[in-house]
Amino acid sequence: MMTLNRIVCASGAALVLGACQSMPSPAPAPALRTAVVPQQKSYFPSDAELRELLQVLVEQGQSEGFVLGLLEPDGRRRVIAYGDAGAGAPPLSSRSVFETGSIVKTFTGAILADMVRRGAVSLNDPVAKFLPAGVKVPSRNGRQITLLDLATHTSGLPRNLDQDKVRDPSNPYADIPIEDVYEFLSSHELRRDIGAKWEYSNLGFGLLGHALTRVAGVETVDELVRERITGPLKMGTTQFGRGNGLEARMAKGHDQYGDVVPYWNFGAFKGAGGLNSTVEDMLTYLNANVGEPGSPIEAAMRDAHQPRHDLDIKGNAAALGWDYRARPGRTIVYKSGSTAGFAGALGFDPDTGAGVVILGNGKGFESRVNVVIQLLKGGRPEFRKTSVPLSEIEPLLGLYEYEGGNRRFFTKDGKLFTRLSGGQDMEVFPAADDRFFYGPGTLSWFEVKRDAGGKHVMSMYPGGSGEADTSVRTGPVPAG
């Protein structure tokens, strides 16, 4: 029961996108890991605890329903479903179909890595090399945008095309032809140096996917994904669009207010988003990303996991379509995605081979990444919500100051809160040893200890970081 508090309360709350060369034939289907018999104790919490987690997330309004898939380090799989698929949709199960948004970027990254291994491209090739001769790609200070820049969101290109290119705001990526992208590129002026800063770009990944189709000599990203990944892995219900009977198995997507919204379609941006899939198929995909590679495409997947561009938080980096998070003793590779009515995430620990995927049919699933990360941290409670009399906590309350600001730690209506200078009240929950953690909005936690001089020091670990931001108690919380 209390494991849930670690996942829900400590775990956090968090696509809303030359000449053709002949390529070798796709690799044969890789061998899947087989479950160890007899079955070992699960790496993750029990089904009952996980079902309670999903129930709490639904009650918080993060989604109408969820399907959670777990890949044990020995290859066993578990699936837990909870909630409502939406009016007229079949009950949620491992085979329910969801929009997965930006998760397709990991497919695009793997295909890029595969082409590098085959010698068809280099990560440092300018993308202009693979576009029609008349297309002008913006450059800056003599630097051209490379395939690596596109795959790590460091190209300097904006998140999306200008709004005047959107035909239908409720389906913003539909019916956008590649000619619109070419036209935008030919007139766009970059605002920052290429490779200097990470800036999320659906446009960049859409362009990358298109360039890779031209290298492979195929017409669409659909063909490329099917030939290189979903076909060999036998992921039969992972595809762009809702044909082949998928629409009858689709969950209904809901916006943040709980209203049903239209499904999304993708034109030139399929390298950035648009795959529909199931937890069943996503577990197969995770399985292909962990353990010893069993085929050339699985070896390319391992290349795509490697950090390529360091981000602002120490240990975080951009890989090829994946997000990379390294902390002492634990590395997690993950990706999230969302559309107008769906949100989800998947990730794995490359050292243990454990994997998690969670798909929801609600736009409001802000904690998707943090649920994945916390489950991959072993499924063992680091924090247990503890009943502590406020009288024991009162000596720790007060104004904590740090260079450039302060944080208030106080009670209101019998509950505990903190507030950064200029920020909002954030409820916190007591754990053991003068530690406190936040609700589903964040992985952050803090502890309060006395220093050698007897002063109370608050050590805050933002986003679950291994490095603390410290502040010192200077007195009681000011009135007002």
Q: What is the SS3 assignment for 385-453? A: CCCCCHHHHHHHCEEEEECCEEEEEEEECCEEEEEECCCCCEEEEECCCCEEEECCCCCCEEEEEECCC
Question: With 50 as the cut, is the pLDDT of residue 120 above it?
Answer: yes
User: Residue 280: which pLDDT band, with cuts at 50, 70 and 90?
Assistant: very high
Per cent of the chain over pLDDT 70 is 86
| Cβ–Cβ under 8 Å, residues 322 and 304 | yes
H-run or E-run covering 327 = strand 323-327
Nearest alpha-carbon partner for 155 in 145, 167, 141: 145
Q: Which residue in 63, 440, 24, 27 sits closest to 215, CA to CA?
A: 24
* CA dist., res. 224 & res. 210, Å (int): 10
Mean pLDDT of 24-41: 45
Q: What percent of the chain has pLDDT over 90?
A: 60
Range from 139-148, 256-265, 463-472 carrying the lowest mean pLDDT: 463-472
Question: Does pLDDT of 39 surpass 60?
Answer: no
Phi and psi based region of residue 244 (left: phi greater than 0; alpha: psi -120 to 50; beta: remaining): left
Q: Which of 58-67, 249-258, 275-284 reaches the highest mean pLDDT?
A: 275-284
Q: Give the burial string for 422-432 (b: 16+ CB within 10 Å, else e).
A: eeeebebbbbe
Mean pLDDT across 184-193? 92
For the cut 70, the answer to whether the pLDDT of residue 197 exceeds it is yes
When pLDDT is cut at 50, 70 and 90, the band that residue 419 belongs to is very high
How many CA atoms lie less than 13 Å away from 452 in the CB half-sphere? 0
> For residue 175, what pLDDT band results from cuts at 50, 70 and 90?
confident
Contact 35, 76 (CB under 8 A): yes
* Mean pLDDT of the 152-163 span: 87
Q: Is the pLDDT of residue 18 over 90?
A: no
HSE of 393 in the Cβ direction (CA atoms, 13 Å)?
Answer: 23
Q: Is a pLDDT exceeding 90 seen at residue 328?
A: no
pTM as predicted: 0.77
* pLDDT over 60 (residue 268): yes
Q: How confident is the model at residue 254 (pLDDT cuts 50, 70, 90)?
A: very high
Question: Per-residue pLDDT averaged across 76-83, rounded?
Answer: 97
Say what the pLDDT of residue 312 is.
Answer: 82
pLDDT band of residue 26 (cuts 50, 70, 90) is very low
pLDDT at 467: 65
Inform me whether the pLDDT recorded for 188 exceeds 50: yes
pLDDT tens per residue across span 340-356: 999 999 999 999 999 99
Please give the average per-residue pLDDT across 73-80, as a whole number.
Answer: 96
At 200-237, the pLDDT tens digits run: 999 999 999 999 999 999 999 999 999 999 999 999 99
pLDDT of 96: 97
Which residue, 337, 340, 341, is CA-closest to 323?
Answer: 337
Question: With bands split at pLDDT 50, 70 and 90, how would you rate the model's confidence at 463?
Answer: low
The pLDDT of residue 2 is 33
Residue that the structure tokens 């689709």 belong to: 250
Rounded CA separation 313/449 (Å): 25
- pLDDT score of 384: 53
Containing H/E element for 182?
helix 178-187
Number of CB atoms found within 10 A of residue 155's CB: 28
Q: Is the pLDDT of residue 423 over 80?
A: yes
What the chain holds in terms of domains, given with CATH numbers, is: 3-122+145-376 (3.40.710.10), 390-475 (2.40.128)
Q: pLDDT digit string (tens) for 361-389?
A: 998 887 788 889 889 986 533 455 667 88
Grade residue 398 by pLDDT with cuts at 50, 70 and 90. very high
